[in-house]
């Protein structure tokens, strides 16, 4: 039995990972629809157990086991203090993704999500499940307006689902796609922006597509070291600074915390971003999202929902877990530089900037975070002599 396990450990761990990840993606698709489901916590325990078994089956050297045990210890401490097992599940999923065929996994995720999202839209369009559009005041200082949802419950949810599909398409096909596929992507993007009227997020989508076209046309840009350094300054540095400023300003304005005052400029920014900063104060239970309330590990009850995803990271999980995520981002960007992989860097940039104003990817539904596939594979390059010779993302 031991001999058989040793000979087939890679295949077994891969099967376990794909079963777990498939369940996570399907639960995510179900959550985006109007179908009620209240057993997520039980399902998440199953997916954690599957990825945990995958990690145990995989071969690790002493250096990697030490890193895994340390990360598990920090994640378990976070679970104990906050009552949320998200970090523990995330760490285990990342480790379990080390040996996957990355391009194959990304294509699998892309097409499962594409089919699932189209099914949600189709069911809404034929009147079976969910609304096609909503006419109401969305709190955007424009009064009552009609925005399309196609079964996703909210226009921003529809937009974020499309945004994730575009990012996956860019990573999988963007580096080789021709004029026609990019034109189709651009037309589809304009259509979804018109349907959802998601203004702030739309700018990030446009910027991402423009950069993808530039990188496609000028392939030598992948060798420019300055671009990777610039990306490091944007994400995570600028993203973290923006979270500190937002949490500090909201605490200063609404809670009277000692932080610098920018006067009328604050309200001008608030209007442009649909009062997302005020939500940091008003939507968080016990007002725990403002800067003065940040903790090393967040406690029980810090589970309120609001936009401004980087702030929500600190609020939901605490300073230490968020800094671990930042360190992981830096490590992945370093691998991108070694591999001259400007496409993964583009995805990091887009997701990071998007998360400043939205919180789609800060979620207990790990199936939303397709980027975890890339992260797990790339972080694996630091073990078992990967990285220099691995070409799975090429």
CB atoms within 10 A of CB 326: 17
Residues ≥6 apart with Cβ < 8 Å to 368: 28, 164, 360, 361
Prior bond to 209 cis, omega within 30?
no
* pLDDT value of position 168: 98
* pLDDT value of position 142: 76
Closest by CA to 149, choosing from 159, 137, 136, is 159
User: How crowded is the C-beta side of 117, counted as CA atoms within 13 Å?
Assistant: 19
pLDDT in tens, 100-117: 999 999 999 999 999 999
> Average per-residue pLDDT in the chain?
92
- Residue % of the chain over a pLDDT of 90: 84
pLDDT in tens, 304-349: 999 999 999 999 999 999 999 999 999 999 999 999 999 999 999 9
* pLDDT value of position 34: 87
Q: Give alpha helix (H) positions in the chain.
A: 2-32, 40-57, 62-82, 86-96, 102-125, 155-169, 179-196, 199-217, 225-232, 239-250, 264-272, 276-282, 309-317, 319-339, 342-357, 371-379
Of 58-67, 114-123, 348-357, the one with minimum mean pLDDT is 58-67
Contact 352, 233 (CB under 8 A): no
pLDDT in tens, 118-144: 999 999 999 999 999 999 888 777 788
Q: Global pTM?
A: 0.94
pLDDT in tens, 83-94: 999 999 999 999
For tokens 């993606």, name the residue.
25
pLDDT in tens, 282-311: 999 889 999 999 999 999 999 999 999 999
* pLDDT value of position 257: 92
DSSP letters spanning 38-54 = --HHHHHHHHHHHHHHH
Please say if the pLDDT value at position 393 is more than 50. Answer: no
Residues ≥6 apart with Cβ < 8 Å to 221: 214, 215, 227, 342
Cα-to-chain-centroid distance, residue 191: 23
Taking the C-alpha atoms of residue 266 and residue 249, their distance in angstroms, rounded to an integer, is 8
Residues ≥6 apart with Cβ < 8 Å to 17: 50, 51, 54, 96, 97, 100
Please say if the pLDDT value at position 202 is more than 70. Answer: yes
pLDDT in tens, 224-274: 999 999 999 999 999 999 999 999 999 999 999 999 889 889 998 998 888
pLDDT-derived band of residue 391, with 50, 70 and 90 as boundaries?
very low
* pLDDT value of position 1: 58
* pLDDT value of position 390: 47
Tokens of 392: 């799975």
pLDDT-derived band of residue 2, with 50, 70 and 90 as boundaries?
low
Q: b vs e for 204-223, b when ≥16 Cβ sit within 10 Å of the residue's Cβ?
A: bbeebbebbbebbeeeeebe
């Amino acid at each position: 039995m031991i001999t058989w396990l040793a000979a087939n450990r890679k295949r077994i761990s891969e099967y376990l990972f794909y079963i777990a990840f498939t369940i996570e993606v399907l639960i995510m698709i179900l959550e985006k629809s109007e179908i009620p489901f209240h057993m997520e916590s039980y399902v998440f325990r199953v997916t954690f157990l599957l990825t945990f078994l995958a990690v145990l089956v995989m071969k690790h050297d002493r250096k990697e086991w030490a890193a895994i045990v340390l990360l598990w210890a920090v994640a378990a401490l976070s679970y104990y203090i906050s009552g949320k097992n998200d970090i523990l599940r995330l760490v285990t999923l990342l480790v379990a993704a080390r040996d996957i065929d990355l391009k194959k996994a990304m294509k699998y995720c892309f097409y499962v999500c594409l089919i699932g999202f189209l099914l949600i839209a189709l069911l809404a369009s034929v009147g079976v499940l969910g609304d096609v559009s909503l006419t109401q005041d969305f709190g955007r200082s424009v009064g009552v307006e009609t925005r399309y949802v196609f079964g996703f419950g909210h226009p921003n949810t529809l937009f974020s689902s499309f945004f994730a599909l575009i990012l996956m398409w860019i990573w999988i096909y963007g580096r080789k796609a021709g004029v026609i596929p990019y034109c189709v992507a651009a037309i589809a993007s304009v259509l979804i922006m018109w349907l959802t009227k998601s203004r702030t997020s739309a700018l990030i989508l446009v910027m991402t597509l423009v950069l993808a076209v530039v990188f496609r046309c000028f392939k030598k840009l992948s060798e420019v070291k300055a671009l990777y350094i610039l990306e490091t300054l944007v994400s995570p540095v600028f993203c973290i600074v923006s979270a500190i400023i937002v949490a500090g300003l909201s605490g200063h304005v609404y809670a009277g915390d000692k932080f610098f005052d920018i006067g009328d400029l604050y309200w001008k920014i608030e209007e442009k971003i649909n009062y997302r900063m005020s939500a940091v104060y008003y939507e968080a239970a016990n007002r725990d999202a403002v800067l003065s309330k940040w903790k090393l590990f967040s406690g029980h009850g810090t589970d309120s929902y609001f936009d401004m995803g980087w702030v929500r990271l600190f609020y939901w999980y605490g300073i230490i877990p968020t800094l671990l995520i930042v360190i992981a981002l830096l490590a992945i960007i370093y691998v991108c530089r070694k591999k001259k992989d400007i496409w993964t860097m583009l995805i990091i940039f887009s997701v990071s900037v998007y998360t400043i104003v939205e919180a789609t990817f800060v979620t207990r539904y790990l199936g939303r975070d397709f980027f975890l596939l890339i992260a797990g594979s790339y972080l694996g390059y630091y073990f078992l002599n990967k990285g220099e010779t691995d070409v799975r993302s090429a």
